[in-house]
Amino acid sequence: MLTRTDLRGRVPSTATLRATLPRAEMDVEHVLHRVRPVIEDIRDRGVDAVLDYTDKFDGVRPERVRVPAAEVNRALDELDPAVRAALEESIARARRVHADQQRTDSTTQVVPGGTVTERWVPVERVGLYAPGGLAVYPSSVVMNVVPAQTAGVESLVVCSPPQAEFGGLPHPTILAAAQLLGVEEVWAVGGAQAVALLAYGGRDTDDGELLPADMVTGPGNVYVTAAKRHLRSLIGIDSEAGPTEIAVLADGTADAVHVAADLISQAEHDTLAASVLVTTSPELADAVDAELERQVGRTKHVERIRTALTGQQSGCILVSDIDDGVRVVNAYAAEHLEIQTADADAVAARVRNAGAIFVGPHAPVSLGDYCAGSNHVLPTGGCARHSSGLSVQSFLRGIHVISYTEQALREVADQVVALADAEDLPAHGQAVTARF
C-alpha cells in the first residue's frame, strides 16, 4: 500500500532528501486570495459578516457567537462519565508536565551598578482554536489551554466551529472540555472567520462585546492557516500547523501489527496526513504492507485513511542501516517520530529534528495525542528543524529590564560613543554624554 523508495547503499545529501522525501503539500497561498476578502469583510462588518460566512461554510447560522454559560454547563453535565474521566486524566497529566516548563525571572549583574533582568510576562488575551470540521478535537482544547493557563494568561477564549446537528453550538465535548478547564468564554465560530474575529473583535448579536485577542494558537485546516498567515502581524500566532505527520523508524525487531496501527492512526486525521515508514528491514516493510491491507478495511474511516496512505505524502523508505535511517528522519523532521528499534533510547538520542519523539514499543503517537502529558500541537511540514511544539514558553514574552547607576553609565560612556560614531549615529552618543 505504501509507495516504496529504496535508498539502501545510497542515501543522498540532506538537501536532496528534504526535496524528495514524501511530504504533504498544503497550498496556503492558493487559498489566501479567497480568505483575504473574508477577513476584510469581517473587519468591516463584524459579526454580521461572520454569521454570513458561517452559514455558507458550516451550513448553520448560530443565534449568537458567544456560547451561553448555561450551554457550556449543560455540556459538562451531560458528558459521558468515561469521557469526562479521560479528559480529567489528560488535563492532570498535561498540567504536571507544563508546570515544569514555567520560567523564572533572572537578573544578571553586568557590572557593579548595572543589571539586566529578564522578566517573563504572559500574553494578556489569547484565542485558542479547536478544530471541528472532519473530526472534533476536545484534546486540542486541553493542549492549548493548559500551557496558556500555566503561563498565567489572564483572558482566554476558545473558538470552535458551530455544528448544525447541535443547533449551531460547537460540539458538546468541546464545550465540556472548556468547562472542565475553567475557561468561561467559548465562541461558536470556525475557519478563517474565527481567526479574523479574534484579530478584530466585534459586537455579538446580543450586543455583548467580543474582545480581540493578542495571540491566536491552535491547529486547523488550510483556511485557518491562511488566515493566521495573513493576520500574523496584527496578532501573534503559534505556528502554521499543516496536515499531521507520523514517521516510524523501525528495524527487524519492530512489531508490524503495531507499526501499521500507528501509521493508520495518523492517516485517520486527514486525506493529506502523512504516514512514513523508514526501515532497515525489507521483511518488516512487507509485513507492515500486509498489515495495512488487513487493518485499514476494519477501520471506521476507510476511504480517508486509504487516500492518506496511498497519497504522495506517505511512503516506505528502505535504508541500509540505522545510521542512514537517522539521517533520513533528521532530514524529514517529522511532527511525530516513533523509534521502534533495538536500543531505541540510544537511537532517539541521535535525533535532532522532530516535533516529538516516541521511544520504544509502548509509546504510540496516540498516547501523545491524548494522555502522555506532552503537548500535541507540534510543528509540521519540516518546521521541526527550527520550531518547537506549543508550550508554556509560547505564551510568555521575555522583557529585558535595564537598570544602570550614574557611575555604571559613566564607565561605559566612551564605548557607547565609539560604537554610535562607527554607525554614523552621533546623536546616540550625545544622549549619553549629555548626562555628564
Annotated binding site for Zn(2+): 266, 269, 369, 428
- Residue 376 as a binder of ligand NAD (CB under 6 A): the answer is yes
Indicate whether 367 belongs to the interface with ligand NAD (CB under 6 A). Answer: no
Q: Which residues are annotated as a binding site?
A: 129, 193, 221, 244, 266, 269, 336, 369, 423, 428
List, as one string, the DSSP characters of 268-279.
Answer: TT-TT-EEEEEE
**Spatial separation of the C-alpha atoms in residues 242 and 224, rounded to whole Å:** 10
The x, y and z cell numbers of residue 203, run together, are 459586537
Minimum distance of ligand NAD from residue 318's CB (angstroms): 27
Cross-strand partners of 118: 106, 400
Q: Are 337 and 358 in contact (CB under 8 A)?
A: yes
**Binding flag, residue 316, ligand NAD (CB under 6 A):** no
Tell me if 134 contacts ligand NAD by CB under 6 A.
yes
* 368, three cell numbers: 501523545
Identified binder of ligand NAD from the candidate list 200, 223, 358, 395, rule CB under 6 A: 223
Give yes or no for residue 147 binding ligand NAD (CB under 6 A): no
Distance CA 214, CA 210 (A): 13
Closest of 102, 135, 99 to residue 120, by C-alpha: 102
User: Which of 340/375 has CB closer to ligand NAD?
Assistant: 375
Q: What one-character-per-residue DSSP string does 309-322 give? A: HHSTT-EEEE-SSH
Residues annotated within the binding site for NAD(+) are: 129, 193, 221
Give the DSSP per-residue string, 344-375.
HHHHHHT----SEEEESTT--HHHHHHTSSS-
**164 forms part of the interface with ligand NAD (CB under 6 A):** no
Quick note: the x/- pattern for ligand NAD over 46-85, rule CB under 6 A, is -----------xx---------------------------
Map residue 132 onto helix, strand or coil: coil
Q: Is 57 exposed, middle or buried (CB count within 10 Å of its CB: 0-12, 13-18, 19+)? A: middle
Any idea which residue has 518488516 for its cell? 284
342 binds ligand NAD (CB under 6 A): no
Least gap, CB of 134 to ligand NAD (angstroms): 4
Which positions from 181 through 210 interact with ligand NAD, judged by CB under 6 A? 190-193
Closest among 172, 170, 186, 176 to 76, alpha carbons compared:
176
The helix or strand, by DSSP H or E, that contains position 215, with its residue range, turns out to be strand 215-217
- Quote the cell numbers at residue 202: 466585534
- Annotation says 335 is catalytic: yes
Rounded distance between C-alpha atoms, residue 274 and residue 24, angstroms: 6
Return the residues of window 224-243 that contact ligand NAD according to CB under 6 A.
224, 241, 243
Catalytic residue among 98, 171, 230, 336: 336
Q: Which of these segments, 41-49, 90-98, 213-221, 397-405, binds ligand NAD (CB under 6 A)? A: 213-221
Tell me the closest approach of the beta carbon of residue 360 to ligand NAD, in angstroms.
22
Residue from the set 171, 230, 269, 301 that interacts with ligand NAD by CB under 6 A = 269
Q: Which residue has the cell 524529514?
A: 332
Binding ligand NAD (rule: CB under 6 A), the pick from 270, 289, 291, 338 is 270
Residue 230 annotated in active site = no
With H, G, I as helix, E, B as strand and everything else as coil, classify residue 66.
Answer: strand
According to CB under 6 A, which one of 2, 180, 377, 384 is a site residue for ligand NAD? Answer: 377
Judged by beta carbon, residue 136 or residue 287, the one nearer ligand NAD is 136
Stretch that binds ligand NAD, among 62-70, 201-209, 297-305, 374-382 (CB under 6 A): 374-382
Write out the binding residues for substrate.
244, 266, 269, 336, 369, 423, 428
Do residues 389 and 339 make contact, with C-beta atoms less than 8 angstroms apart?
A: no
Instruction: Please tell me whether residue 358 binds ligand NAD under the rule CB under 6 A.
Output: no
Whose CA is closest to 235, among 195, 211, 199?
199
Residue among 120 and 129 whose Cβ is closer to ligand NAD: 129
Q: Which three cell numbers stand for residue 155?
A: 483572558
Q: 364, 266 in Cβ contact below 8 A?
A: no
170 binds ligand NAD (CB under 6 A): no
- Contact between 380 and ligand NAD by CB under 6 A: the answer reads yes
Q: Kindly state the smallest distance separating residue 268's Cβ from ligand NAD, in Å.
A: 9
Cβ–Cβ < 8 Å for 378, 139: no
Query: Of 325 and 368, which has the nearer Cβ to ligand NAD?
Result: 368
Work out which of 219, 236, 368, 382 binds ligand NAD, going by CB under 6 A: 219
How buried is residue 155: exposed, middle or buried, by Cβ count under 10 Å (0-12/13-18/19+)? middle
Binding of residue 169 to ligand NAD (CB under 6 A)? no
190: alpha, beta or left, given left = phi > 0 and alpha = psi -120 to 50?
beta
Q: Does 246 bind ligand NAD (CB under 6 A)?
A: no
Interface with ligand NAD (CB under 6 A) = 57-58, 131-135, 137, 140, 161, 190-193, 219-221, 223-224, 241, 243-244, 269-270, 376-378, 380
Q: Active-site residue numbers?
A: 335-336
